[in-house]
């Protein structure tokens, strides 16, 4: 009986080894890639052009939409310009997703280059799997996996 309990304990621990999974880029639908890439390009181009109008032709979640209304977008663009200078998107680097729940948000990680801060190498954008709604995070940092970054940051705050 003890062997059975031990077997189930080991099996459950081995299956929980990672909370996040890397989704291969070839398994991501081309439309999803296009939506994410177009949005990031449009966002950064709006900052360059100082065009703080609303985004059109994108499905954006209510939570994210509240962060990119014209006043907030202007502040965000000013922060991007001050901290990073000119930001160029090089390519879609990877996509990560949480193991549970399976049908939730994927985080698209774009490789970027910046003028003022070469340490910042990634831009992260969330997207719901349902109808390609864009969602937070929209975040710059130097770690490729945003989900692991958040996990580490939370652990540091708790301890």
| pLDDT tens per residue across span 64-74 | 998 899 999 99
What is residue 27's predicted lDDT score, i.e. its pLDDT? 85
Q: How many CB atoms lie within 10 A of CB 151?
A: 13
87-105 tens-digit pLDDT = 999 999 999 887 766 658 8
Dihedral sign for Cα atoms in the order 6, 7, 11, 17: positive
- What is the mean predicted confidence (pLDDT) over 10-30? 67
- The contacts of residue 111 (CB under 8 Å, 6+ apart) are 89, 90, 91, 92, 93, 121, 122
33-74 tens-digit pLDDT = 999 999 999 999 999 999 999 999 999 999 999 889 999 999
Local structure of residue 86 (DSSP, 8 states): S
What is residue 81's predicted lDDT score, i.e. its pLDDT? 92
Higher-scoring residue by pLDDT: 157, 33 = 33
Instruction: Check: CB of residue 77 under 8 Å from CB of residue 54.
Output: no
Residue 93, H or E segment: strand 87-98
Residue 121 — pLDDT band, cuts 50, 70, 90? confident
Instruction: Check: CB of residue 134 under 8 Å from CB of residue 42.
Output: no
pTM of this structure: 0.78
What is residue 76's predicted lDDT score, i.e. its pLDDT? 92
- What is the mean predicted confidence (pLDDT) over 110-122? 87
Beta bridge partners of 92: 110
Cα–Cα distance list, 29 to 23, 62, 128, 142, 159 (Å): 11, 24, 13, 26, 40
What is residue 127's predicted lDDT score, i.e. its pLDDT? 92
Token pair of 64, please?
């994210």
Instruction: Assess whether pLDDT exceeds 50 at residue 14.
Output: no
Residue 5 — pLDDT band, cuts 50, 70, 90? low
């Amino acid at each position: 009986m003890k062997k059975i309990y031990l077997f189930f304990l080991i099996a459950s621990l081995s299956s929980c080894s990672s909370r996040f999974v890397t989704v291969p880029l070839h398994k991501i639908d081309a439309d999803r890639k296009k939506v994410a890439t177009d949005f990031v390009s449009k966002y950064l181009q709006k900052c360059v052009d100082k065009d703080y109008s609303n985004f059109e032709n994108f499905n954006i979640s209510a939570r994210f939409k509240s962060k990119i209304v014209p006043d907030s977008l202007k502040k965000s663009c000013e922060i991007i310009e001050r901290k990073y200078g000119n930001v160029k998107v090089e390519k879609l680097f990877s996509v990560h997703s949480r193991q549970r729940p399976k049908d939730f948000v994927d985080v698209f990680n774009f490789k970027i280059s910046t003028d003022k801060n070469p340490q910042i190498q990634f831009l992260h954008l969330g997207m719901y799997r349902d109808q390609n709604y864009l969602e937070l995070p929209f975040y710059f940092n130097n770690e490729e996996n945003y989900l692991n970054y958040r996990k580490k940051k939370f652990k540091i705050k708790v301890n």
